[in-house]
Each structure stands twice: as structure tokens, then as C-alpha cells.
Amino acid sequence: MVIIIQHQVPDGMIGKGEAFMPYNFERVEKKWQQYWEENKVFQVECDPGKPKFYCLEMFPYPSGALHMGHLRNYSIGDLLSRFLWMKGWNVLHPMGFDAFGLPAENAALKYGVHPKKWTWDNIEHMTTQLKSMGCSYDWRRRVETCSPDYYRWTQWIFLLFLKNGLAYRKHAPVNWCESCQTVLANEQVIDGGHCWRCGSLVTKRKLEQWFLNITRYAQELLDSLGELPGWPEKVKLMQRNWIGRSEGVHLSFPVDGMETSLETFTTRFDTIYGVTFLALAPEHPLVEELVRRSPKGDEIRKFVAETLQKSEIERTAVGGEKTGIDTGFKAINPVTGEKVPIWVSNYILIEYGTGAIMGVAGHDQRDFEFARKYGIPVGVVIQPTEGNLDPETMTGAFEGDGIQCNSGDFDGLPTEESIPRMAAWAEEIGVGKREVNFRLRDWLISRQRYWGAPIPVVYCEKCGIVPIPEDQLPVLLPDVQVLPGGKSPLPETEEWVNTTCPYCGGPARRETDTMDTFICSSWYFLRFSSPWTAECPFRKEDVNYWMAVDQYIGGIEHACLHLIYARFFTKVLSDLGYVEAREPFTNLLTQGMVIKDGSKMSKSKGNVVDPDEIIRKYGADTARLFILFAAPPDKDLDWSEKGVEGAHRFLRRVWRLVEEGGDALRQAPRRRIPLVELAAKDRRDLKRRIQSTIESVGRDIEKERQFNTAVARLMELSNALSDFTPRDVTDWTLYREGIETLLLCLSPFTPHICEELWQSLENQGCLAGATWPEVEADCLEAESVTIVLQVNGKVREKIELPAGLGSEELKERVFSEEAVRKRLEGKEILKVIAVPDRLVNVVVKG
């Protein structure tokens, strides 16, 4: 079957009058996809004798069909993999599915299909789609996180964390998404209090939940960002901000008339002499006791209840009104012995630091606003170098550096000295301790959902929390129907919940929460090294050969989600001796979004373009080429059907170039004619063009990661070949070199068409196994260059001269030009700057 696209007369009837095969991408793409599969071209093995390259794209959630974002992600990954393969690396390029998650349950509710069936159907469909893109995956290594063979090891890793004190249960106020009917980790609450997945407003609930101790790794996660030069600065910065390290002093304020003291944390211990009050978060444990002892307990209780009723965002919005209530109790400043009132206030967060602060109204804007509102005194202990602060009249806190005052022995010290000196002093006299605080919270991993990996523990009446023994893994997810309303059916599945304690044999209940799906994706890159092993999550020799991932590609939206979690898992597994790598991803490329009509493609905007349709209409090669050409990979890409047509047109031109060559081309010798053997200048120019294309395309892909300019270079080569009319055997030999170079260099971008044309030139083997051509170095040096003559910095003449002239000779040659002499006639020359192979700038008077 021959399908002719977009025009009725086949291309073959035009051109040189000789009929030839039209570019039938459908036939070509199918043919080569089949060829690669049958010949196991992309199957790769661990081979310590060869240098490895691990190229990985973030695996997709099997939502049903690929979208343009996927197509972009996987086009980039495939280009790199194929290129590096040609460069001689042993390339691991696997693909899998992040297959647990809520949408499967939503689909179950909507369409009445079981999450398992829905997910597996989607996986099969999307695998077909990925194959139709022509991606060079080693499909034997496909992993699906919802497969028991996989989640068995997710559970195993959870138990490993538990055994090592990195997983624990805690009763705490946690983020709850009503719409998703589950709790969420801090990282998954975005845009000021909204669920990362569904966008609903998140509320707080007090629940007992499982946490992973990621904060134990906070410092290392922060420090080793410095060892990731291959990561975009932006992502590293986002992670730094997210981890949020701050250095300060922890100090206790004894409560007057009570046995207890209040713990506080401050980054500005230098303002200790300026403390005029203490403030507690409404949730602070001491509040309850103060309420009990205070005559105005009811009033305080009322304030706390009212505050807690408000949503998180309402309470924590910048510039939001600060409210509070004086408890009537006093705390004693451990440095001055001064008694200051203890307040309860809405702007103090229980999650950060100790949930209590020392209030320094003179030097903290928030404290200032609060103090002014309630008539609390303002103390000044730092004076700016210019001006003089008056606590009575100042209208805002002074948060900058200055000179210490009203601070005992420290008066007169500049801030940069007083901060470290006073902190050290606090330790010396035993009132405080230097401490580091992080914004990063422990990772809440329990999810009240069905479609996830069960947390492998039971609750035994006698033994308490009991982990499932390793040899009993996996704890299989029972095949049950999801419940209307979205509640997890697991707690209701009595025959599954009721079990026996693996330790004492007595009655026990299973944990009915499943794990956050980000757990599943925190180690999949390790599993790819030996996905078939049933003995362990991954084999040491394999994982240590392949890890770390040399190039990771995905969206920036995972900067503070997956990319932090995966680093955490890698560090833990490394510390426990399972993998040598300390970091999972050596180089990270964050691709931009695919935009249409000014905004991200989305169903609600109705601006979605279906990858399947594009592939059907233009072919995978065209789709890939357009995506790689239209924008640099890290920038947003504007979808343009016209642009797609342009890419298609280019491929048709390449096709015609080869077909029109006919027998003359097919029979031309496969020989590289050295530059020096080419007599004519224009032949040498073409030779140079051919060779420099190899160099610049290689550099753009490998070093610059600028695939759009690489494509531009290939188009230039194609244009040059198209302009060239071979006349004799030497010409045809050169032409063949050009064509074959074009096909080789273009093949990582558009593999199918290149394979087909390569074969039509009667070449042996396939391009997927070919070697990237070596550059003939002498061709990179230009023979002649256009020298620009500038007068006072303005371009005046352009002169073609031999390359490599020294600046003296260059000046001489330029000045001997008639046009130049004319132009400079009668001018007083002040200075001449000559830049070899570039320009001559003449500075004249007037």
C-alpha cells in the first residue's frame, strides 16, 4: 500500500523526470520500528569493559495517552541516547510507568472499570505510542510501579527505612485534601495551600501518620547541591530555598512562677536585649496549661479556637492581620533577668522551630506590627550607622545591620561581629545553644487511598506495630471495588485487614493506608539496572555499573518533589550500602512546557494537540524534528502546525535529495576525498561545510544541548547539497559523502527516514548501530574569510581575504584595497585595530 500525503502527484514524477519512491513515512516508520525490535538493536547489557551512559527521561503516569509534554521529553531523551550510542557509549535507555495513583481510582468511579485494568490498559496503549515514536528503549527493562514484582521492593525499602529508624509514626497536624480524600506531604501543597494534583484548598487535620525522616538528610541534601554542576542553577536554588537552612540560637525562657521554661529559636540572638514579649503558636503544648492556670483561661481558649478555625492561608498570608492575646504569664529573659509577657499569637507557626518566639519589636517587622497593635513596648538594641532610632516614634522595625546598643558589654559592636560573638557567649554562659533549623519537614507518606503500595505493617494487640517479614512480601493489594465518594475501600475489606501477627500469631489488623506514589518513583531509576531480578530490588554489580543517571530529563515542576525525594532515597540506600552513588542524577535537563496560543496545553483551555494525530498526519520523524527545532530544550515551545509542516517539508527535501541522486549517487564510490585533493574552491567549500556540520552538530548536542541550532546546521548542509550539481565521479563521491554525513548526523533526530535512505544507498547495517563520523580537522580551518573594514566602529567595506593573516599583514592587505583607500582619503588616522580573520577598525579624526 502506498499512501501519498497532501498532494496527488507523487514527488517522484517531478524533479529530474525520473520516477522515484515517494516519502511514505508510514511505511518507513513501521518498517524500521519492526527492524529495531526484531534485531534487538536497543537491548543493552552491563559491560564493565565499555564506558556507560545512563540516559533517563522521567517516566510517565499512565493517564491514558501521551501528551505533547511527553513527546517533547522523550524526543530529547531519544536524541541524546542515539547520539551517545553513535559516539561509542554503552547506553542504558529504559522506560517504565509510574502506575500507582489517584486518577486510576477516579476513572474507576467515572467509568466503572477497576483501577488495575484501567492502569494496565493505559500502560499497553502508551507503550504502543512510545514505540510509534521510534524511541530507542530497551523494552525488556520496562517497569511498572503497580506491578507486585515492583512494589514488593518498594515495601522492602520502606521496611529498610523502618529498621534504620528513618520511618516512624507520629500524631501531628497534617495537610488534608478533602477532594482527594487523603493527606499530603508539605511538598505537595502548592500555590499557597492547594493540592498539587487537584488544586483544592488543603486543610489541617490532626492524625497519626507515617513519616520518613528526610530532615535527617537536610544538611547533606543542601551541601551536595554544590556537587551537582550539571544541574540548572534554578533547580538548585529552588531546592536550597525549600530546604531553608537557618543558623541561630536555641534558648530557654523560664516561665515566672512555673517549673517549665519556653523554648525558642532565633537567628538574631544579637537582639536578645531587645526582647519585649514572647509569643506562642496557638497549637503550642504550653498553651493548654496556661489556660488551666489562668483566671482568663476561657478568653484564651476562645482565641485559640477561633484562630485554629481559620484556614492556613488566611492565617499565614503576608500582611495578614496579626492577632493575639496576653496570657498574663511572664517569662524571664535569661540574659537580662527581665520579665516579659507571654502572648499567644496567630502568626506563630507550630511547625517551624519550637513554635514559640522571642518578640523583638524594634528589629523584626512582624513583631513590630504586633507590638504596636497591642501597645507592647518596642526596644532598640541596634542603631543604624546613619540616623538614630527612637522606639516611641519609629514606624517600622530596623532589620538591617548596625551598631549594638543597650546590650551590656556588646555595645558598640557592628552586627556582623555581634551575631557570632553573642551566640558564642550564649553557649559560654549556658543560656543558649547554637542550632541549625530547616524549613524542610519530614515526609508524610501515608495516603488514605486504595491504588498504591500497601504499607507493609500490621498492628498487633500484643506486639504493637509489627513489620511484615521480608519473605512474606509483597503485601498484595486486594482486588476490591472502589467506593463511591472516593473513600479507600481497604479499611472496609475485613478479610484483608484482619490478619495474624507475624510475630506472635495473635490477631492483628493490617495498615490500610498506602504509600505516597512519590515513594515508588524515588528508586525506579535503580530498578532499571536489573529489573528482572526477584532476589533483591536491584543487583549491586548492575546498579553500580549503571548509576548514576548521566542525563536526566523532565519537567521543572518536580524541583521540590520527585527530585528531592529521589536524592534522599539515593543517599539513604547509599549509606546502607546498596548503591555506591551519592547522587542519582549527574546532569539534569529541565525541558520547557509546550505552549499553544499563549498558554500551556490543557483540556480546559481546549488547545490540546494530540501526538497520535500529528504522528498519523506527518509521521514520528516530523513530530520529533519539529519539537527539537522549534525552541531550545529548556525554553517553552510554541506549538505551530505551520512549523510542523516546515519540518515535514525539510524531510521531504532530504528524501528527494537522495532519490534524485539515483544510480549516479548509489554507484558513487564510498570514499572521503581529502580536502587537499579537491581542486575547485566551491568543491572545497562544500567539503568544509560537510565536515564542519559534523563538528557543530556534535557540539550542539553534546555540549551546548542546543538541539534547535543543531537542526539549523543540518538544514544548511541540506541546502548546500541541494545547490550542488555533481558533474563527474569526484563530484558524485563528494556528494555521497555529503549525503551520508547528513543522514548520519540527522539520524538521532529522525531515525526512521535516515535508516531508509541509508539503506537505499546500499549501505550495510543500520544507522542505529553506526558510528558518529570523525571530523577531518583540516576542514575546520577556513580558507578565506570576510574581513570587515570599520571606520570609527561602523561597518564600511567587506573584503574577502585568505584566512590566518597576522594583524600587520591584514592591515597592509586591507589598506591596499582600492575601496578602502578611497574611503580613507584625506582622513587623519588616529588608530588602527586589526583582529585577525575578523576585522580592521580604523579610528579617524572628525
Q: List phi, psi (to 5°) of 438.
A: -120, 150
Distance, C-alpha 217 to centroid of its chain: 20
Nearer to RNA, 242 or 329 (CB): 242
Question: Smallest gap, in angstroms, from Cβ of residue 704 to RNA?
Answer: 7
Nearer to RNA, 509 or 653 (CB): 653
Q: Around Cβ 313, how many Cβ atoms within 10 Å?
A: 14
Q: Are 542 and 46 in contact (CB under 8 A)?
A: yes
Scanning the structure block, which residue is given the C-alpha cell 555529503?
A: 738
Nearer to RNA, 377 or 502 (CB): 377
Q: Are 280 and 345 in contact (CB under 8 A)?
A: yes
Nearer to RNA, 15 or 489 (CB): 15
Question: Smallest gap, in angstroms, from Cβ of residue 401 to RNA?
Answer: 15
Nearer to RNA, 498 or 719 (CB): 719
Cα 137 from Cα 34, distance rounded (Å): 13
Q: Are 637 and 626 in contact (CB under 8 A)?
A: no
> What is the bridge-based pairing of β-strands 356-359 and 403-404?
unpaired
Closest among 726, 649, 638, 642 to 682, alpha carbons compared: 726
Does an H or E element contain 266, and which? strand 261-266
Q: Cell triple for residue 156?
A: 522492602
Question: Smallest gap, in angstroms, from Cβ of residue 746 to RNA?
Answer: 12
Distance, C-alpha 272 to centroid of its chain: 42
Distance, C-alpha 163 to centroid of its chain: 30
Closest among 761, 772, 661, 653 to 717, alpha carbons compared: 653
Nearer to RNA, 282 or 456 (CB): 282
**Strand, helix or coil at 565?**
helix
Nearer to RNA, 424 or 536 (CB): 424
Cα 522 from Cα 435, distance rounded (Å): 30
Question: Smallest gap, in angstroms, from Cβ of residue 242 to RNA?
Answer: 6
Question: Smallest gap, in angstroms, from Cβ of residue 708 to RNA?
Answer: 5
Q: List phi, psi (to 5°) of 552.
A: -115, 140
Question: Smallest gap, in angstroms, from Cβ of residue 14 to RNA?
Answer: 6
Distance (Å) of CA 609 to CA 12, 60, 75, 480: 31, 18, 16, 36
Question: Smallest gap, in angstroms, from Cβ of residue 38 to RNA?
Answer: 33
Question: Smallest gap, in angstroms, from Cβ of residue 337 to RNA?
Answer: 21
Q: Cell triple for residue 505?
A: 500469631
Nearer to RNA, 237 or 777 (CB): 237
Question: Smallest gap, in angstroms, from Cβ of residue 624 to RNA?
Answer: 14
Question: Smallest gap, in angstroms, from Cβ of residue 722 to RNA?
Answer: 6
E strands present in 524-669: 551-555, 588-591, 594-596, 599-600, 637-638
Question: Smallest gap, in angstroms, from Cβ of residue 823 to RNA?
Answer: 8
Rounded to a whole number of angstroms, the distance between the first and last alpha carbons of the chain is 75
Nearer to RNA, 241 or 498 (CB): 241
Nearer to RNA, 472 or 599 (CB): 599
**How buried is residue 496: exposed, middle or buried, by Cβ count under 10 Å (0-12/13-18/19+)?**
buried
Nearer to RNA, 437 or 514 (CB): 437
Scanning the structure block, which residue is given the C-alpha cell 547495517?
A: 765
